[in-house]
Amino acid sequence: MSRQAARTGDPRKVNGELFTLTYGALVAQLMKDYENDDEVNKQLEKMGYNIGVRIIEDFLARANSGRCNDFRDVADVISKVAFKMYLGITPVVSNWSPAGDEFSLLLENNPLTDFVELPEGHDSLNYSNILCGVLKGALEMIQMDVDVKFVQDHLKGDNITEVRLKFIKRLEDAVPVGED
């Protein structure tokens, strides 16, 4: 009774609900394993970091975006190319600091949180904290030390979800042993 399977769909894309729910399963598992919001946040960030250092390689292999000249370029590429490519959304870049070393990504729709309602008593859980890790990991691989954190979260009753990125310093290439 095996029928010829109809082949449809783009093999480079995955159903968004599968993705959202899989992430949900992960967060639920972490909450079971750690029972402490701060620990869960940390674990999510760590996992995000691991994803970041990998996803940047995929990004470099595919995106063909040229070198960024300054942090503004970086912000643009993150929102218009990277988020678009990996999550299908384009966050708004705003709230630049006067020195141009800090900006916010405003997420109107966060694909990680469809279907999600934070349970009572988890006010310090940053459900989407994995994103901070991803951004940090990815930027570190291209020699940028950046601080990333959530300042507003739709899930916590804020009007919008806001991720803040602050440039700290440029990282230098590792020098092999015996050189200087």
Considering the rule CB under 8 A, would residue 88 count as an interface residue with other proteins? yes
Per-residue string for binding with other proteins, 40-79, x by CB under 8 A?
A: -------x--xx-xxxxxx-xxx----x------------
Considering the rule CB under 8 A, would residue 98 count as an interface residue with other proteins? no
Closest among 56, 100, 54 to 77, alpha carbons compared: 56
Considering the rule CB under 8 A, would residue 169 count as an interface residue with other proteins? no
CA–CA–CA angle 92, 98, 99 (5° rounding) = 105
Per-residue DSSP letter, 97: -
Closest among 61, 104, 108, 60 to 88, alpha carbons compared: 108
Considering the rule CB under 8 A, would residue 18 count as an interface residue with other proteins? yes
Strand order in the sheet with 161-170: 92-94, 102-107, 161-170, 144-152
Q: How far is the CB of 98 from other proteins (least distance, A)?
A: 28
Q: Which residues bind other proteins (CB under 8 A)?
A: 1-3, 5-19, 21-26, 28-29, 33, 47, 50-51, 53-58, 60-62, 67, 85-88, 111, 113-120, 130, 141-143, 154-157, 159, 173-179
